[in-house]
Chain A
Amino acid sequence: MNVNVVKSGDYSIISVEGRVDTTNAGEFEKAVMEVVNSGINMIIFNCSGLNYISSSGLRVFLIVQKRMMANKGQLKLCSLQPGITEIFDISGFSSIFSIFPDQDSAEKAG
C-alpha cells in the first residue's frame, strides 16, 4: 500500500495505491488522519491505484467521512476500480460517499 498527498486547488488529494487490508489498515488510518487532523477540510481520495479493500479499509473511509461531516468539510472519492465499486455497493457505502468517475469531475463538482 502507498499513500500520497498532494494539493490541487482547494483540495488535498489523497492517492491510495495497492491493497488496504487487515494487515495495513492501521497504517492507512494513521496516514489519512494526519491529513484530516492538520485541519484540511476538502479532501478527495483518488482510488485509481487501489486494487483491493476489505472491511478494515472500509472502516477507515467511514471514520474519515464521519470526521469530515463533523468538521463541515467535504470528502469525495474518485476513480474506483470495478471490484472496489462492487464492494462499496454491497456494503451500502456507495450511497454514503460522493463518488466521481475521475479526479477532474470530483474537483469541479460543487
Chain B
Amino acid sequence: MDNTPDDKILLVNNKIDELTRVARFLEELGEKWNLPDPLVFNLNLVMEEALANTILYGFSDDRNHTIEIQCSKSKSLISITIKDDGIEYDPTQKKDPDMSLPAGERPIGGLGIFLIKKIMDSVHYKRIDNINNLILTKNI
C-alpha cells in the first residue's frame, strides 16, 4: 500500500462563477479517489461556503486575486487548505446561529460557516505572512 498522501491543487480567481469549476474539480477528485457521492456533495458544499465568503466579502479592492485550494487524501483523512490574500478573517470565531429559533425569527443567512463546522471534523485558521489559511479535515 502506498501511504504517501495524494495531493491536488486548484487555483481560482475571486469570481463567483469560479464555483462551477470548483464543483467540477471535486467531481473529478471524487472519481479519482473513489469517494462516495454523499461525501463529494458535502465537500463541495464546504468549499462553496468557504469560497463564497472569501470571494464576496474577503477583498477590499477590485483587483484580481488568486485563491489556492489544496486537497490531500491519506488513508483515513481528507484535508483541504484554502489560502487567500484577502482581509484577515478567522471564520472559526464566528458565533453559531441559534438553531432553536422558529422560522419567523431565524435570520436570513449566516449558515455557511456553521455548515462547514458541522460537516468537517476539524476547522483551523492561521494567518501566515498576510495570507488567510483555512485548514479543514474530514475523517474517512
Contact = CB atoms under 8 A, between A and B. Distances in A.
Contacts, number: 68
Query: Binding site of B, secondary structure by majority: helix, strand, loop or mixed?
Result: helix
A39 interface: no
Contact of A87 (B97, B108, B115): B115
A58 B111 contact: yes
B38 A59 contact: no
A54 interface: yes
B112 A63 contact: no
Q: Name the interface size band of chain B.
A: 20 to 34
A17 interface: no
Contact of A55 (B16, B38, B100, B115): B115
Contact of A54 (B49, B99, B102, B104): B49
Q: Name the interface size band of chain A.
A: 20 to 34
Contact of A21 (B42, B48, B102, B109): B48
Interface of B: 16-17, 19-20, 23, 37-38, 41-42, 44-45, 48-49, 52, 97, 99-100, 102-104, 106, 108-109, 111-112, 114-115, 118-119
